[in-house]
Amino acid sequence: MPPPTRAATAWPRSSNPDVMALKTAKRGAVAPFIVMDVMRAAAEREASHGDVLHLEVGQPSTPAPRGVLEAAHRALDGQVLGYTLALGIPPLRAAIAAHYRQSYGLNLPADRIVVTTGSSGGFILSFLAAFDAGDRVAMASPGYPAYRNILQAVDVEPVLLPAGPDTRYQPTVAMLEAAQRETGRLAGLIVASPANPTGTMLSADELAELAAYCSTSGIRLISDEIYHGITYGSVAAATAARDDQAVVVNSFSKYYSMTGWRLGWMVVPESLLRAVECLAQNLFISPPSLSQHAAVAAFGCGEELDANVARYAANRALLLEALPRAGFDRLAPPDGAFYLYADVAHLTNDSRDFCKRVLAETGIAITPGVDFDPDQGHRTVRFSYAGSTSDMAEAAGRLEKWLK
């Protein structure tokens, strides 16, 4: 018998009345991560015009430290690089624990360190391990959009706490109390210090107050510390020193300049460790092997990494002086990270359209505030100054010329 023809084996069209339409799961109907859409538009502009300045994405323009690259080459030379333990290779977990001793004076056992596939993997694991479907988890708004989007995807309700200049865009105990009075008990609180998109930080006292309230109220505290190391004037306070039941998420992407290596870590309470391990085994098998072997060397590269931070500081100073001249004079106080968050209500009431016009007419890619604040973000934008100082100067000049 001859083999069937292509027509005979083709999948039936969905219009066939005998074929039942298949559903799309509701959990997939989350909002997009808009900065990724901006990156795509910037890439299209770059292909046609070649003049794009990237102030949209929070990605260092520097490579991974030399020590990390050398360690990666050694690992590639004869290593099997197969699966690792789900919680990460022991040398890396030990190196991270040593980092907490040296940087914060904390004696955390390496057993409480979990290596993850980027901070994104850390958020997925922490949310699944700590919260049940229907739980309510609070966070400041504006804030990193993936918090609320991942929570919604796992059927946990994000509770946005509107935050503004009066609290330096950070949550407070008063906000948590009000949220619980108005809408019911909270199961969790996510904090970020330094924060994305604002760059603001919680003081040690403010963090301690939030941690104490969460502890006495049965609220799981999850602390995003991926911008630790990138601060200007003060050191970011460590949540693990204030709440041993908190989950801390960190990453090699920002301070360590390793975004594409997709590697992060968590500090996990003992009570959650087995749950996190079982979830990691099933969802990820293990973090990337090559990245883990290379990252052990990252903690010996402080001089090179601090030089990157010095460049961010120079970029920050340049933009804090130049952007107000261009018309962006309502800025959140940038204590850390590499972002400036601007109120542009005097320029537009549609930040997405505004950012499209900026890209089309100046070649500068910036991110609309609706990515970070679905309620008030139509009047804000975010600038990333993780790129080169020359790019920052060129961008400021173009914007000043454009708005005049």
Checking DSSP bridges between strand 136-141 and strand 380-384, what pairing results, if any? unpaired
What pTM was estimated for this model as a whole? 0.92
Q: Which amino acid appears at position 229 of this protein?
A: G
Which pLDDT value is given to residue 80?
Answer: 74
Low-confidence ranges of the chain (pLDDT < 70): 1-17
* Residues 249/223, Cβ–Cβ less than 8 Å: yes
Please report the domains of the chain, with CATH numbers, ordered by start residue: 30-59+303-403 (3.90.1150.10), 67-300 (3.40.640.10)
Region for 161 from its dihedrals, namely left if φ exceeds 0, alpha if ψ lies in -120 to 50, beta otherwise: beta
* Residues 354/366, Cβ–Cβ less than 8 Å: no
Which pLDDT value is given to residue 16?
Answer: 66
- 73 burial class (0-12, 13-18, 19+ CB within 10 angstroms)? exposed
Task: List, for residues 117-167, the tens digit of each pLDDT value.
Answer: 999 999 999 999 999 999 999 999 999 999 999 999 999 999 999 999 999
Task: Report the Cα 27 to chain-centroid distance in Å.
Answer: 21
Which pLDDT value is given to residue 22?
Answer: 83
387: number of Cβ within 10 Å:
22
Whether residue 142 is preceded by a cis peptide bond, meaning omega within 30 degrees of 0, is yes
* Residues 163/142, Cβ–Cβ less than 8 Å: yes
